[in-house]
Structure 1
Amino acid sequence: MRFWRDFVRNDLKNISRDSLLIFVLTVPWLIPVVFRLAIPPLAMWLENIYNFDLQPYYPLLLSFAILLQLPLIFGIVFGFLLLDEKDDGVLAAIQVTPLSVDGYLKQRLLLTFLLSVLYVVFMLPATGLVSLVLLANLIPIILLAGLLGVGATLFIAFVANNKVEGLALMKAMGLLMLGPLAAFFIEGRWQLLLGVVPSYWLAKAYWLASAGANAWLYILAGLSYLILLIYLLLKRFRRKYAV
């Protein structure tokens, strides 16, 4: 427990010193506000002026803004913290302490997972567009979103060699959200081609669950895919640090 307290205190200190990370962490709090203040009047305006019903697109908007974006935000934050510590030699120094590098990484990844899940659980109903009944049905998908955050953390921290490369990878990860957007408008099996993007399986499962359909096939496919990616990234990490 003491290790956890020291880690959290150290993370908060590191985040408070980085204006980019502070900015990234403030974004989630604005999302429910935007949805509550902007979406209902926008939907009414589109209905009255253009006779366009925005409600069928609520699952698309929510999956993009919350289900996918929030885990990626935490993945970016903790990925950059690990990248900083790698550059500063912290991970190498941990190897000579009682706490193993593997244990240190697990703590970071668990924190990423928990924050991703908790934020998504809180933010979805906070928008006023998701009922608590639907939220209960979405729990398996939300847990999957936590794994997406873990994968993003590992991808930034151990694929990038420095913060410059980390910023480039952060922009590239925008593809994780753009892929599912296209799938929403593609009918039939052609959309499965977008399954190469891990977030497709989360988004598709969310759309099906929101419509009351069975989403377990997509949940299991996404779980298998993310576990494989996380395993490969962890293998790269352990090989590099001889864990």
Structure 2
Amino acid sequence: MLGTVIKAELNNMLRDKMYLVFALYPIILGGIGYFLINYIEERVAQDNLAPEILAMFLILMTGYIFGALIAFTLLDDKDDLVLMSLKITPISVKSYVIVKLVVAFIFGFVATLVITLATSFLPNASFWSIMLISFTGALQAPGLTLIVNSFSRNKVEGFVVMKLSGLLLVLPVIAFFTMNWQEVFLVFAPGFWPARLIQIELLPEFETNFNYITYFILGVIYNMLFLTLLMKIYTKKSNL
């Protein structure tokens, strides 16, 4: 079923202009960021964190965008009564939704990995470090998909919820200036964990509370717990 859903999502992107824009948005952002970061680096002081913050923001945005994309295709499924039709088939609605969430993660992971490697946003990071950052960053995608579908009934409400949830991307920026115990107030944002990994790669001279692998493990555990909670909320609100 995973392959079928992936194929269907790709067809949706090609058929619907809005979804196509969503799919191309990370590429556009990556292209702009590639030149903009170099431009900023040449014009600001060496201790200015603007280039690093911009690189972090663009990397995190990739997973976020694909989460929004799958969120709206899931709303389409609801409007087209696809979810209701599944109730009379051997495939459970919950299984279908979980597959959609996996697709959101896969798209977010692949896009984040490719764009980060292609743009050299993390010039000194190893391939495996970028893999771990892409993995934790992509976990935002299914989370956003569930947030949008749990608290909106249609695309109009979905856009509002998506924009409001975008405020979560502000917290990872704050993390760049919070190194001590105060980071405990930021760990609830899913993007905090990949942001901290990015920061360790870009600014290795800064001391953090944990090492790279510890942040990765904690980030995966937290995001999985967060997704489990969101799935329960979505299941209850959708009467699955």
Query: Smaller-chain TM-score range?
Result: 0.7 to 0.9
- Picking from 213, 216, 223, the partner of 2:220 is 223
Offset from partner CA, 1:38-83 (integer Å, 9 cap, x none) = 3223322x15xxxx127854432222111x1011101000011111
Q: What code does the residue aligned with 2:138 have?
A: G
Q: What CA distance in whole angstroms lies between the structure 1 residues aligned with 2:154 and 2:27? A: 29
Q: What CA distance in whole angstroms lies between the structure 2 residues aligned with 1:177 and 1:197? A: 8
> How many residue pairs are counted as aligned between the two chains?
235
Q: What CA distance in whole angstroms lies between the structure 2 residues aligned with 1:18 and 1:207? A: 36
Q: What code does the residue aligned with 1:65 have?
A: L
SS in 1 for 2:223: helix
Q: What CA distance in whole angstroms lies between the structure 1 residues aligned with 2:26 and 2:162? A: 17
SS in 2 for 1:205: helix
Q: What code does the residue aligned with 1:180 have?
A: P
Q: What CA distance in whole angstroms lies between the structure 1 residues aligned with 2:157 and 2:28? A: 28
Note the residue ranges of structure 2 that are not aligned, 5 or more in a row: none
* Contact 1:176/1:199, CA 8 A, preserved across alignment: yes
Query: 1:184-199, aligned counterparts within 5 Å?
Result: 184-199=176-191
* Contact 1:125/1:132, CA 8 A, preserved across alignment: no
Structure 1 stretch 171-180 or stretch 139-148: which is displaced more?
139-148
Instruction: Give the equivalent residue in structure 1 for 2:53.
Output: 60
Structure 1 stretch 151-160 or stretch 129-138: which is displaced more?
129-138
Note the residue ranges of structure 1 that are not aligned, 5 or more in a row: none
Q: What CA distance in whole angstroms lies between the structure 1 residues aligned with 2:220 and 2:231? A: 16
Residue 232 in structure 1 maps to residue 232 in structure 2: no
Instruction: Give the equivalent residue in structure 1 for 2:143.
Output: 151
Deviation of 1:240 (Å): 5.1
Deviation of 1:4 (Å): 4.4
Instruction: Give the equivalent residue in structure 1 for 2:37.
Output: 39
Instruction: Give the equivalent residue in structure 2 for 1:115.
Output: 107
SS in 2 for 1:196: coil
Deviation of 1:241 (Å): 5.6
Instruction: Give the equivalent residue in structure 2 for 1:180.
Output: 172
* Contact 1:60/1:181, CA 8 A, preserved across alignment: yes
Tell me: CA distance 1:105–1:4, structure 2 relative to 1, closer, same or farther (3 Å): same
Q: What CA distance in whole angstroms lies between the structure 1 residues aligned with 2:66 and 2:27? A: 13
Instruction: Give the equivalent residue in structure 2 for 1:165.
Output: 157
Q: What CA distance in whole angstroms lies between the structure 2 residues aligned with 1:130 and 1:188? A: 24
Q: What CA distance in whole angstroms lies between the structure 2 residues aligned with 1:135 and 1:80? A: 32
Query: 1:9-24, aligned counterparts within 5 Å?
Result: 9-24=7-22
SS in 2 for 1:160: coil
Residue 202 in structure 1 maps to residue 200 in structure 2: no
* Contact 1:43/1:54, CA 8 A, preserved across alignment: no
Q: What CA distance in whole angstroms lies between the structure 2 residues aligned with 1:158 and 1:15? A: 23
**What percentage of residue pairs aligned between the two structures are identical?**
27
Greater CA radius of gyration, 1 or 2? 1
Offset from partner CA, 1:94-122 (integer Å, 9 cap, x none) = 11112222332222112111111111111
Structure 1 stretch 137-146 or stretch 126-135: which is displaced more?
126-135
Offset from partner CA, 1:149-179 (integer Å, 9 cap, x none) = 1111111123322222211111012112111
Would you tell me which structure has more helix in proportion to its own residues?
A: 1
SS in 2 for 1:97: coil
* Contact 2:169/2:191, CA 8 A, preserved across alignment: yes
Q: What CA distance in whole angstroms lies between the structure 2 residues aligned with 1:233 and 1:215? A: 27
Q: What CA distance in whole angstroms lies between the structure 2 residues aligned with 1:123 and 1:152? A: 20
